[in-house]
Amino acid sequence: MRTEAVAAERGAAEAAAPAARPVALWPGLALAMAGSIAFSGKAIIVKLAYRYGVDAVTLIMYRMLFALPLFVLLAWWAGRGKPALTGRDWRVISGLGFSGYYLASFLDFAGLAYITAGLERLILYLNPTLVLALGALLLKRKVTRRQAIALAVSYCGLLLVLGHEVSFQGGDVALGAGLVFGSAASYAVYLVASGEEVGRLGALRLTGLATSVACLCCIIQFLLLRPLSALAVAPEVIWLSVLNATLCTFAPVLMVMMAIERLGANVVAQTGMIGPLSTILMGVVILGEPFTAWTLAGTVLVLSGIWLLTKWR
């Protein structure tokens, strides 16, 4: 869920308030870094769960099943004293939840069956470039020369890592990368389309409602595509799903939002660069994924491009 879903760091940043007082710098930085690392741990947990023979449909169902009560509670808490939702609100929330959290999460989980956790995080980290592209296509926003340079740097880094992995692991890597890129694109659509609703409903309320819709979509998908006997999975899958729903999904949403209140969106977005690095490190240490000079060079290019894009915007 860039829940990725997610809510994700970028979704929170789009809804943020101006920077807070500098006296709360270190608590805010600690929250931002912890939230980014926790979000990044999702890929590691998914890769560990796949070792027990579970498929993407079942795995994402369990994650969302355990996350659903938490996000329903968040939506209720954030909506206290607010006006009741209209029919239009529910239609928009349903569409945003489907695109930004359900579809993005499912494509991400499916892609992780074919690629390393480090490559997955690098692809998802390109999300700001997709938001910029959608803004240019749909909202006719101009892309400056500096922004174009930043995009080129980021995508050169991604192609470097992707080309290296394809040469060693075959065409399945390209399929997995395509699925994860589709996840990033789906979440970018959510970010572009949710601006007005964030202003009307508030970031936390919208996140809670849209994610609850996505949770229901994942549960319904499982009921339509799998027999109830598919609920029988290894106990390790259950515990990993609980950890994914709490530590790597719900808790980071709150930590990032609290960090934005203290630091502002720009600082939190810059701090989010620790996410891909932590995923790569956890992938090497926990999953035994390879870390080569090609991976290092590509990672540096991707992070540099996103840093330049954030700075120049």
pLDDT in tens, the chain (313 residues): 443 333 344 443 444 344 444 445 777 788 888 888 888 899 999 999 999 999 999 999 999 999 999 999 999 999 998 888 889 999 999 999 998 889 999 999 999 999 888 888 888 888 778 887 877 777 677 777 887 888 888 888 888 888 777 766 666 888 998 999 999 899 888 888 877 787 788 888 988 999 999 999 999 999 999 999 999 999 999 999 999 999 998 998 888 877 777 776 666 666 777 878 888 888 888 988 887 888 888 888 888 887 777 766 6
* Residue 294, C-beta contacts closer than 8 angstroms, at least 6 positions apart: 160, 161, 164
How many structural domains is the chain composed of? Answer: 1
Is 4 among the domain residues? no
Is 3 among the domain residues? no
d(CA 265, CA 12): 8
Is 22 among the domain residues? yes
C-alpha radius of gyration, the chain, whole number: 18
* Residue 208, C-beta contacts closer than 8 angstroms, at least 6 positions apart: 71, 72, 73, 74, 75, 76, 77, 78, 79
CB–CB of 187/104 below 8 Å? yes
Range of the domain at 252: 9-312
pTM of the model: 0.81
